[in-house]
Amino acid sequence: MRQLGTHLLLEMAGCKPEKLNNVEEVEHCLVQAAREAKATVLDCSFHKFSPQGVSGVVVIAESHISIHTWPEFGYAAVDVFTCGDRAMPKLAASYLIKVFAPKTYDLKELPRGIPGTLPLDADSQGVKWSPPGNHGWA
């Protein structure tokens, strides 16, 4: 695989339900997580469900940070996906663990990129690739 990004999957359980159900607070935490990761925030979209729950995404130049909450279970599922070599996704995850203070959590890291093995300078159609960070977008 030619790795182009890092995708963190964060499962948090035992969080305070009132925090997970507050759309303004959840948005603030995700935006601050992006800043902690040294990512560039471009846009945000958050939604408060009835009777409970919040879903949202912070779009960053490097990709995105998203969350889905189930306050009735004290549970939140978070994705932190960054491309390039500038942003530090683990700093975002560490910040979210700190502010949501779960009793338990699980953090998985997945490399994201082009599957298979390609020559160092071209794919099967002859498209040339350069290392992350040299594309002018991250």
Q: Bin 111: left if φ > 0, else alpha if -120 < ψ < 50, else beta.
A: beta
Q: Which two tokens stand for residue 128?
A: 């040339």
Contacts for 115-122: CB closer than 8 Å, 24+ residues apart: 115/1, 116/1, 117/1, 118/2
Rg (CA), the chain: 17
Closest C-alpha to 95, from 14, 18, 22, 38: 38
User: Which residues are annotated as catalytic?
Assistant: 63, 68, 83
| Rounded distance between C-alpha atoms, residue 112 and residue 105, angstroms | 22
